[in-house]
Structure 1
Amino acid sequence: MSLTVGPISAAEHVAFVRKQRSVSFLQTPAWGRVKTEWRSESLGWYAGRTLVGAGLVLHRPVPRLERFTLAYLPQGPAIDSPGEIDAWLDPLAAHLKADGAFAIRLGPPVRTNTWSAAQVKEGIADPGIERLTELPSQQTDPLGARVTSQLRDAGWLPQYPEDGFGAGQPQFTYELPLRNLDGQSRTEDDLLTGMNQLWRRNIKKAAKEGVEVTVGEDLKAFHDLYVHTAERDRFTPRPLRYFEAMFAAMSAEDPERIELYLARHQGDLVAAAILVRVGGHAWYSYGASSTEKREVRGSNACQWAMIRDSLAAGCDVYDLRGITPTLDADDPHVGLIQFKVGTGGQAVRYVGEWDLPLRPMVYRAFDLYMRRRRSLKRRGR
């Protein structure tokens, strides 16, 4: 198959996305308008005159060498037949190099392995198991192995560190399938049965306590709770204007793309979360919870409302997004995994993010700059 790559309009890109069953929201034109610190463009793959693939490319310039950029396709591109990925990426590399890119970074949305909730729980309980990859996977996808091999043979460099989190998107996620293996939608009872006893009890507890979950537009209320959560859990929160831009851009592209869920108990906001949907894929994107009234289980109520709405919308999967592969009970990250495992579902490993240096000297300079920057960040400078 002979393919060519060239710019497409945002309208053409959106039209292509709407025809696909599964495209990451990070590969929509709207996401380019959210990431204002990057220059964005939509590219299309053509077989003859037919548009057969599309990708959002985010460009970041090199410090002091602004004419060169890192070209980044998060969780992309959206292409058919990823098993022949070299046929897709060769024309992409030629186009981006001519456009001034010194390297390409991308993360094809292709799975390599999955582990069931039961396996993950057993691994956490076993003191001899420290990492998810030490467990035999429930399913190994030969397509993932093939894509990994093709990328490596073509000179692409893997970017995922040992913990699965790098500068971009995580390699490991936790996902709740909303369809059975035969393709039929699961029922709410099916999903509740698949959850662990604690999750079922917490959902019932929230309902008994009178927690009410609504879909609203009060981003300021969400952000206040999110900042509170950040202070408690010791992470750096994004500013309110980031979420305002996110809702404005994504809602303009599709009015059902993004929604804010607010859980209240006797008028008090106890939890909030953001849900994003594209085609058959739904993502739990951001969440927040109050320190007070944790006993009413607002977070579980929020999650259950988003899961039910995703199921009702005909989605294939509810994605709880990134996890680290650690199963060491003493690791602080394992609590997040345990929370997500409680939904049932499965841990998923993707091929991860890869770099292709197009101008090796500039790439090495950029890599050195990023290493120094991460080192200073770790030392709090």
Structure 2
Amino acid sequence: MSAIAERLVDAGDAAHSGAQSKGLLVPKLETRIVSGAEWDRTIAGFDEVCQEQLYVFSVNRWPSVSPEPMLFLLHGEVVGGSMMMIQRLPLGLGRIAVSKWGPMLKDRIRADAQALHAGMVEALIADYADRRGQMLSVLPRASTEPVNHEYAHLVERGFRRGSQLLFPNRYIVNLRLTDAEQRKSFAQKWRYHLNKSEKAGLTFEHASAEALPEFEALYAAMTDRKQFSDHSAYDTMPALMAMDADLRPELFFVRHGGELVAGAIIFKGGDRAVYLYGATNDKALPLRAGYFLHWHVIRWLRDNTSAEWYDLGGTDGFQGLHQFKKGMVGDAGVIVPVPPVANYASRKLAFLLGAGAFAARDVFHALQRKLDGWRNPKTRPTQARSASEEAGQ
């Protein structure tokens, strides 16, 4: 028996026969719910850390939800964690335990990573579904591999498919390339616009957190100009920018003749940097400032972080954004879907109540999109679903 197998067997009996059938010996992990400060401090070094799993983000984004930061330990060593958000159902009928972009591994490339992920899932089931009688709702992050093993395991374990984004694809750039390799990877048209931008007299700037008000002014002006309803988590930015350096997002500006024309806020933690927010003024488009900005952000992330990937997010159904991001991903990156939500309950009533609550939420969001489109036709999707699903589904 290998050393890894011996260690997993010693940790406890295999938690689920389905996991064993795939060659995994699933460890029984110790769980520990910690304070928000300890949680953010601990997960700062996780490979899979992300904005949505931060305590500071959760309490500012979802003030009506009860956060439970849960660490997972093997032989006393922290191996992973999941920010659990406990949502109370109307009339006190029950509760849903939600993990978005979790559970997270501390070390994504360790030999027993898949077994540890399965162990974290078993621990969540035992606590929230079996002991507390809640529906457990898990949304793994998009995988850069051809198969999303985390989602596949959830399905095998008995989780049922829930809601999915209308345009689920994430556009992810490979950061571990030389300048020449990266430019070669870009689509020809993207590279053409980048070349033009480099002749437009633009300058790139890595700004400090104290420059956030300058970005906020640009962002507010852009939102007013486009008249888009902002349903994002932008209001959490002041709290995130006040965090310690390891988890604090980075701020980047592009100027023309000293005038700020474009800016971006990037989460840089873990193995995957994420584009959070961007803002431009009217001069940015003819100057091709977006191309210039992202090119220099890619190079900065490569040279100043350990991130392997740069996640550009989705498109919200806009064809122009699809073309821009697809061209930047190029040949070396990947376009992959965020999987559907996976739901599990040990008790039938808990599942029915939880699934019903999610269905009602989906109807509300659909009506919200229609209302936004009626108020401002520019917010209506222009991207065909077939285009959204290419190269990733």
TM-score normalized by the length of structure 1: 0.75
Asked if 1:35 is matched to 2:61, the reply is: yes
**Superposed counterparts of 1:164-313, under 5 Å:** 164-165=167-168, 172-179=169-176, 186-216=177-207, 217-231=210-224, 233=226, 235-237=228-230, 243=234, 245-254=236-245, 257-313=248-304
Q: Which residue of 1 aligns with 2:343?
A: 355
- CA pair 86-197 structure 1, distance change in 2 beyond 3 A: closer
Match of 1:74 among 88, 96, 100: 100
Asked if 1:59 is matched to 2:50, the reply is: no
Match of 2:121 among 89, 92, 98: 89
Separation (CA, whole Å) in 1 of partners of 2:366 and 2:313: 26
- AA aligned opposite 2:31: V
Alpha-carbon deviation of 1:269?
2.3
Alpha-carbon deviation of 1:10?
3.8
Separation (CA, whole Å) in 2 of partners of 1:372 and 1:102: 22
* 5+ long unaligned stretches in structure 2: 1-26, 373-393
Alpha-carbon deviation of 1:97?
4.3
- Return the structure number with greater strand share: 1
State the Cα deviation string for residues 216-269 of structure 1 (Å, max 9, x = none): 343333233324434555532269xx6464243354233563122122212332
Separation (CA, whole Å) in 2 of partners of 1:62 and 1:10: 24
- AA aligned opposite 1:62: L
Q: How many equivalent residue pairs? A: 330
Separation (CA, whole Å) in 2 of partners of 1:57 and 1:158: 19
Identity %: 23
Separation (CA, whole Å) in 1 of partners of 2:187 and 2:363: 43
8 Å contact kept, 1:260–1:273: yes
8 Å contact kept, 1:86–1:154: no
Farther-moved stretch of structure 1 (263-272 vs 243-252): 243-252
State the Cα deviation string for residues 64-92 of structure 1 (Å, max 9, x = none): 32x74332221111136235644322221
**Superposed counterparts of 1:2-41, under 5 Å:** 2-37=28-63, 38-41=65-68
Q: Which residue of 1 aligns with 2:154?
A: 151
- CA pair 218-160 structure 1, distance change in 2 beyond 3 A: same
8 Å contact kept, 2:67–2:84: yes
Question: What secondary structure, in the 3-state scheme, does the structure 2 residue paired with 1:252 have?
Answer: coil
Alpha-carbon deviation of 1:336?
1.4
- AA aligned opposite 2:127: H
- CA pair 352-207 structure 1, distance change in 2 beyond 3 A: same
* 5+ long unaligned stretches in structure 1: 114-139, 166-171, 180-185, 325-331
- CA pair 205-364 structure 1, distance change in 2 beyond 3 A: closer
Alpha-carbon deviation of 1:55?
1.2
What is the aligned-residue RMSD (CA, Å)?
A: 3.1
Separation (CA, whole Å) in 2 of partners of 1:18 and 1:229: 32
Question: What secondary structure, in the 3-state scheme, does the structure 1 residue paired with 2:344 have?
Answer: strand
Separation (CA, whole Å) in 1 of partners of 2:79 and 2:338: 23
State the Cα deviation string for residues 257-285 of structure 1 (Å, max 9, x = none): 31221222123322111111113321111
Farther-moved stretch of structure 1 (74-83 vs 302-311): 74-83
8 Å contact kept, 2:87–2:95: yes
State the Cα deviation string for residues 307-344 of structure 1 (Å, max 9, x = none): 111011142111112247xxxxxxx6332121012222
Separation (CA, whole Å) in 1 of partners of 2:141 and 2:231: 26
Separation (CA, whole Å) in 1 of partners of 2:90 and 2:354: 12
Alpha-carbon deviation of 1:211?
1.5
Q: Which residue of 2 aligns with 1:334?
A: 319
Asked if 1:109 is matched to 2:141, the reply is: yes
8 Å contact kept, 1:226–1:288: yes
- CA pair 338-110 structure 1, distance change in 2 beyond 3 A: closer
Question: What secondary structure, in the 3-state scheme, does the structure 2 residue paired with 1:380 have?
Answer: helix
- AA aligned opposite 1:155: G
8 Å contact kept, 1:6–1:95: no
Q: Which has the higher contact order (CA 8 A, sep 6+)?
A: 1
8 Å contact kept, 2:57–2:236: no
- CA pair 71-254 structure 1, distance change in 2 beyond 3 A: farther
